[in-house]
Chain A
Amino acid sequence: MKRQAVNVLTVVIIAVILLTGGILEEIYIANTLDGFAEKFVEFEKTETESGYDIGKLEEIYSWWETRHKALEMLIPHTQINEIESTFGELKGAVRANDTKSAHAFIVRLQLTVEAMADMYVLRIGNVL
C-alpha cells in the first residue's frame, strides 16, 4: 500500500513536471521569438539615408545571445543556427551600408522567427 502511494506520488510529480515544463517552455519560446521579431520592427525605424543604426543592431544581438543559450536547451540547434547566420549576414549588410540587402535580411529573419514560433505551439497541425 505504501509502495503504491509512493508510485502514485512519483507519477503525479512527473506529470506535473512534464505539463508545467511544457507550458513554461511554450511561453518562453513564444515570448523570446515574438520579442525578437518586435525588436526588428523597432530596428527598421532606425533607417536613415545613411543606412541602419549598427549600435541598435549590436544591442539586439547582445539580447539574442543571452536568449540563444536558453533556446539551445529547448529547440534543435539547426533552427537557431539559421537565425544566427542570417543575423551575421544582416550585420555585414548594415556595416556596408547596403540598405536593400539589410532590409531583405530583416524580412527573412522576421519570417523565420514567425515560422519557428508557430512550429512549437500546441495545435493540431503540429501534433499531426
Chain B
Amino acid sequence: MLVVIVRTIIIFAFLLLGLRLMGKRQLGELQPFEFVIALAVADLACLPMQEVSIPLQYGLAPVFTIFLLHFIVTFVSVKSVKFRKLLNGKPVIVINSGGIDSRAMKSLNMNVNDLLESIRGAGYFSVEQIAFAIVETNGKLSVLPKDGAQAPVSIPLTLITDGKLLSANIAISDTGESEISEILKAQGLNPKNVVLMTAENGRYFIQPEGKPFVTLNRL
C-alpha cells in the first residue's frame, strides 16, 4: 500500500505538471489540479471494480491519497497566492487595446484559431468588437466589449492566420493573393508577420505581430 501511495503522489504531480505545460486549451471549467483528479480517479476506481483478483485497497488507497492531495493543495492555495499562481497559473490578457497579444498567446500554447473560436463562443465575431479578452485559469475566455463597437454584418472571412495564407478562404473571397500582398506591402508588412487578417463586407482587419491592429476599407 505504501508503494501505491507514493506512486499515486508522483503520478498526481506529473499529471499536474503536464497539464500546466500544455497550457489552458484542454481544461474547460476545471482548474488544472481538479482536472488531474477527474482524469485519475475515474480510472483508479474502475480497476478493482472490474478485476476481482485485485484487492479493493488497490483502488481505495490511491483514491483516498488523491483526496488528501486535493485537500492539501486547496488548503495551501487558499493560504498562499504564490502557490495558487504556481498551481493554476494566472489569467492572461490575450486581446488588449492593440488587438491580439501574440506573445501572451504563445505563453498559453494557443493559436489564433483557438482564440477566434473562443471569442465566437463568447458571442463576438470580430476582434475589433473587443476591448479586452482574458483567458482565465480554467481556460475560459472572459470578454470586455468595446464601447460603441459595431457588430459585423456578415461573418468575417479569415485570409491569414499565424503568417499563413488560407488559400481555401482566399478562393471564395473577392480579394486575391496579389491584392493581399499589395495591401500588406502598403502597410510595410509581410504575410509572415501577420497574426490575423480578415475581410468582411469590404473591410480588412490586419493584426501584425507585436504591433497594434490596422483596419482598412477596400478602395
Decide if A26 is an interface residue (CB 8 Å cutoff).
yes
A8 shortest CB reach to chain B, Å: 8
* Nearest-Cβ distance from residue A119 to partner chain B, whole angstroms: 9
Contacting pair B2 A72 (CB below 8 A): no
Does any Cβ of B come within 8 Å of A75's Cβ? yes
Residues of B within 8 A of A14 (CB): 64, 67-68
Q: Is the CB of A76 within 8 A of B55?
A: yes
Q: Tell me what chain B mostly uses at the interface: helix, strand, loop, or mixed.
A: helix
Give A19 to B4 CA distance when docked, in angstroms.
11
Contact A74 B5 (CB under 8 A): no
Q: Please report the C-alpha to C-alpha distance between residue A14 and residue B64 in the assembled complex, in whole angstroms.
A: 7
B68-A22 in contact (CB<8A): no
B53, A78: Cβ atoms closer than 8 Å:
yes
**Minimal Cβ-Cβ distance residue in B for A80:** B53
Interface size class of B (residues with CB under 8 A): 20 to 34
When C-beta atoms are compared, the residue in chain B nearest to A79 turns out to be: B53
A89 within 8 A of B: no
**A115 on the B face (CB < 8 A):** no
Report the bound CA distance from A22 to B7 in whole Å.
13
Cα(A14)–Cα(B65), bound, Å: 9
Complexed CA–CA distance, A7 and B7 (Å): 25
What are 15 sample pairs from A and B whose C-beta atoms fall under 8 A apart?
A7-B71, A11-B67, A14-B64, A14-B68, A15-B68, A18-B61, A18-B64, A74-B57, A77-B52, A120-B3, A121-B3, A126-B3, A127-B3, A127-B6, A127-B7
